[in-house]
Protein backbone atom coordinates (compact mmCIF):
# COMPACT_ATOMS: atom_id res chain seq x y z
CA UNK A 1 0.00 0.00 0.00
CA UNK A 2 2.96 2.32 0.59
CA UNK A 3 4.24 2.14 -3.00
CA UNK A 4 0.98 3.22 -4.71
CA UNK A 5 0.58 6.04 -2.17
CA UNK A 6 4.14 7.23 -2.88
CA UNK A 7 3.54 7.05 -6.63
CA UNK A 8 0.32 9.04 -6.23
CA UNK A 9 2.11 11.74 -4.20
CA UNK A 10 4.77 12.06 -6.89
CA UNK A 11 2.21 12.25 -9.72
CA UNK A 12 0.11 14.87 -7.93
CA UNK A 13 3.17 16.93 -6.99
CA UNK A 14 4.38 16.86 -10.60
CA UNK A 15 0.92 17.91 -11.79
CA UNK A 16 1.10 20.85 -9.39
CA UNK A 17 4.50 21.86 -10.73
CA UNK A 18 3.31 21.65 -14.35
CA UNK A 19 -0.25 22.97 -14.05
CA UNK A 20 0.55 26.49 -15.23
CA UNK A 21 2.00 25.29 -18.54
CA UNK A 22 -0.34 22.33 -19.15
CA UNK A 23 -3.10 22.64 -21.77
CA UNK A 24 -6.25 24.19 -20.27
CA UNK A 25 -8.72 21.49 -19.24
CA UNK A 26 -6.14 18.71 -19.32
CA UNK A 27 -5.87 16.28 -16.44
CA UNK A 28 -2.51 17.73 -15.44
CA UNK A 29 -3.90 21.27 -15.37
CA UNK A 30 -7.03 20.34 -13.40
CA UNK A 31 -5.28 18.07 -10.87
CA UNK A 32 -2.38 20.50 -10.56
CA UNK A 33 -4.62 23.51 -9.95
CA UNK A 34 -6.58 21.58 -7.34
CA UNK A 35 -3.37 20.47 -5.63
CA UNK A 36 -1.85 23.95 -5.73
CA UNK A 37 -4.95 25.50 -4.20
CA UNK A 38 -4.43 23.42 -1.08
CA UNK A 39 -0.65 23.62 -1.02
CA UNK A 40 -0.53 27.42 -1.06
CA UNK A 41 -0.28 27.56 2.72
CA UNK A 42 0.68 31.24 2.69
CA UNK A 43 -2.65 32.12 1.03
CA UNK A 44 -4.52 29.76 3.35
CA UNK A 45 -2.85 31.33 6.40
CA UNK A 46 -3.55 34.85 5.08
CA UNK A 47 -7.23 34.02 4.59
CA UNK A 48 -7.46 32.81 8.18
CA UNK A 49 -11.01 31.99 9.25
CA UNK A 50 -12.62 34.33 6.70
CA UNK A 51 -13.71 31.50 4.35
CA UNK A 52 -15.39 29.77 7.30
CA UNK A 53 -17.00 32.89 8.75
CA UNK A 54 -20.49 32.26 7.26
CA UNK A 55 -20.60 28.82 8.92
CA UNK A 56 -19.19 30.19 12.19
CA UNK A 57 -21.89 32.88 12.12
CA UNK A 58 -24.51 30.18 11.56
CA UNK A 59 -23.20 28.31 14.62
CA UNK A 60 -23.27 31.50 16.68
CA UNK A 61 -26.94 32.06 15.77
CA UNK A 62 -28.05 28.57 16.85
CA UNK A 63 -30.28 28.65 19.89
CA UNK A 64 -32.27 25.44 19.97
CA UNK A 65 -32.47 21.85 18.74
CA UNK A 66 -34.23 22.85 15.51
CA UNK A 67 -31.32 25.14 14.63
CA UNK A 68 -28.87 22.32 15.38
CA UNK A 69 -30.81 19.89 13.16
CA UNK A 70 -30.87 22.41 10.30
CA UNK A 71 -27.14 23.00 10.77
CA UNK A 72 -26.38 19.27 10.64
CA UNK A 73 -28.56 18.92 7.54
CA UNK A 74 -26.68 21.74 5.84
CA UNK A 75 -23.33 20.16 6.74
CA UNK A 76 -24.47 16.91 5.11
CA UNK A 77 -25.71 18.87 2.08
CA UNK A 78 -22.40 20.68 1.50
CA UNK A 79 -20.37 17.51 2.01
CA UNK A 80 -18.54 18.06 5.27
CA UNK A 81 -17.57 15.19 7.56
CA UNK A 82 -20.68 13.76 9.19
CA UNK A 83 -21.60 15.48 12.44
CA UNK A 84 -23.58 13.06 14.62
CA UNK A 85 -25.08 11.36 11.55
CA UNK A 86 -24.45 11.06 7.86
CA UNK A 87 -26.35 10.11 4.73
CA UNK A 88 -25.14 9.64 1.22
CA UNK A 89 -24.85 7.52 -1.89
CA UNK A 90 -22.60 4.49 -1.95
CA UNK A 91 -22.31 1.50 -4.24
CA UNK A 92 -25.15 -0.86 -3.39
CA UNK A 93 -23.80 -3.83 -1.45
CA UNK A 94 -26.26 -6.16 -3.19
CA UNK A 95 -25.69 -4.84 -6.74
CA UNK A 96 -22.44 -3.03 -7.50
CA UNK A 97 -23.84 -1.60 -10.74
CA UNK A 98 -26.16 0.80 -8.88
CA UNK A 99 -25.98 3.20 -5.97
CA UNK A 100 -28.04 3.14 -2.80
CA UNK A 101 -28.50 5.71 -0.06
CA UNK A 102 -26.94 4.76 3.23
CA UNK A 103 -27.12 6.38 6.61
CA UNK A 104 -24.80 5.96 9.51
CA UNK A 105 -23.45 7.48 12.63
CA UNK A 106 -21.13 10.40 12.28
CA UNK A 107 -18.72 11.72 14.80
CA UNK A 108 -18.80 14.52 17.25
CA UNK A 109 -15.05 14.72 17.43
CA UNK A 110 -12.42 16.26 15.28
CA UNK A 111 -11.54 14.17 12.23
CA UNK A 112 -8.39 12.09 12.55
CA UNK A 113 -6.70 14.27 9.94
CA UNK A 114 -6.59 17.12 12.50
CA UNK A 115 -5.14 15.22 15.45
CA UNK A 116 -1.56 16.27 14.72
CA UNK A 117 -2.52 19.92 14.41
CA UNK A 118 -4.67 19.99 17.54
CA UNK A 119 -2.07 18.07 19.50
CA UNK A 120 0.85 20.45 18.99
CA UNK A 121 1.58 23.93 20.31
CA UNK A 122 0.77 25.60 16.97
CA UNK A 123 -2.76 24.22 17.20
CA UNK A 124 -3.37 25.13 20.86
CA UNK A 125 -5.62 28.07 19.94
CA UNK A 126 -7.60 25.79 17.63
CA UNK A 127 -8.08 23.25 20.40
CA UNK A 128 -9.43 26.03 22.65
CA UNK A 129 -11.85 27.06 19.90
CA UNK A 130 -12.85 23.41 19.45
CA UNK A 131 -13.58 23.10 23.17
CA UNK A 132 -15.80 26.19 23.04
CA UNK A 133 -17.60 24.69 20.04
CA UNK A 134 -18.21 21.42 21.91
CA UNK A 135 -19.62 23.27 24.90
CA UNK A 136 -21.90 25.45 22.72
CA UNK A 137 -23.25 22.48 20.75
CA UNK A 138 -23.91 20.53 23.94
CA UNK A 139 -25.86 23.47 25.39
CA UNK A 140 -27.85 23.89 22.17
CA UNK A 141 -28.59 20.16 22.30
CA UNK A 142 -30.25 20.71 25.68
CA UNK A 143 -27.51 19.92 28.17
CA UNK A 144 -27.21 22.12 31.22
CA UNK A 145 -24.25 24.51 31.26
CA UNK A 146 -22.61 22.25 33.86
CA UNK A 147 -23.03 19.14 31.70
CA UNK A 148 -21.79 21.01 28.63
CA UNK A 149 -18.76 22.24 30.57
CA UNK A 150 -17.95 18.63 31.56
CA UNK A 151 -18.05 17.65 27.88
CA UNK A 152 -15.72 20.52 27.06
CA UNK A 153 -13.43 19.54 29.93
CA UNK A 154 -13.07 16.06 28.47
CA UNK A 155 -11.51 17.71 25.41
CA UNK A 156 -8.77 18.99 27.70
CA UNK A 157 -7.74 15.44 28.49
CA UNK A 158 -8.07 14.37 24.87
CA UNK A 159 -4.92 12.62 23.72
CA UNK A 160 -4.47 12.78 19.92
CA UNK A 161 -1.81 10.07 19.99
CA UNK A 162 -4.22 7.66 21.71
CA UNK A 163 -6.94 8.49 19.18
CA UNK A 164 -4.66 7.88 16.21
CA UNK A 165 -3.93 4.37 17.47
CA UNK A 166 -7.60 3.41 17.49
Residue 6 in this model has a pLDDT that exceeds 80: yes
Q: Find all residues with CB under 8 Å of 113, minimum gap 6, and list them.
A: none
Full domain range(s) for residue 103: 48-165
Over residues 61-67, the mean pLDDT reads 87
Q: What is the distance between the alpha carbons of residues 114 and 65, in angstroms, rounded to a whole number?
A: 27
- Express each pLDDT in 74-96 by its tens digit: 877 776 766 666 667 889 999 99
Examine the domain organization and report whether 57 and 88 are in the same domain.
Answer: yes
Least confident among 25-29, 85-89, 139-143: 85-89
What is the SS3 assignment for 128? helix
Task: Work out the percent of the chain whose per-residue pLDDT is above 70.
Answer: 74
Whether residue 2 sits in one domain with residue 63: no
pLDDT at position 166 over 50: no
Q: Are 3 and 83 part of one and the same domain?
A: no
How many domains, the chain? 2
143-152 pLDDT per residue, tens: 888 988 887 7
Q: Where are the alpha helices (DSSP H) in the chain?
A: 2-18, 27-39, 41-47, 53-61, 65-78, 115-118, 124-140, 145-156, 160-165
Q: Kindly state whether residues 103 and 143 are assigned to the same domain.
A: yes
Residues 58 and 14 in one domain: no
Task: Based on the fold, state whether residues 6 and 83 are members of the same structural domain.
Answer: no
Pick 36 or 103 by higher pLDDT.
36
Q: Indicate whether 52 and 40 sit together in one domain.
A: no
pLDDT for residue 158: 46
Do residues 73 and 19 share a domain?
no
Convert the pLDDT of each residue in 111-131 to its tens digit. Answer: 666 666 666 676 777 777 877
- Name the domain boundary from 31, 47, 63: 47
Q: Check whether residue 37 and residue 58 sit in a common domain.
A: no
Residues 21, 132: Cα–Cα separation, whole Å:
45
pLDDT at 165: 42
Q: For residues 52 and 117, state if they share a domain.
A: yes
- Answering whether pTM is above 0.85, one says no
**Residue 156 predicted with pLDDT over 80:** no
Residues 96/78, Cβ–Cβ less than 8 Å: no
pLDDT at 33 over 50: yes
Residue 98, pLDDT above cutoff 50: yes
Q: Are residues 34 and 58 in the same domain?
A: no
Amino acid sequence: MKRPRTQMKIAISEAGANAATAPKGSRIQRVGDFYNAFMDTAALDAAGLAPLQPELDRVARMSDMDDLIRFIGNMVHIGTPALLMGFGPEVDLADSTVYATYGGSGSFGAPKEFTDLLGNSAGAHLLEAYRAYVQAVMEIAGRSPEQAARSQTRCKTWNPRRRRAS
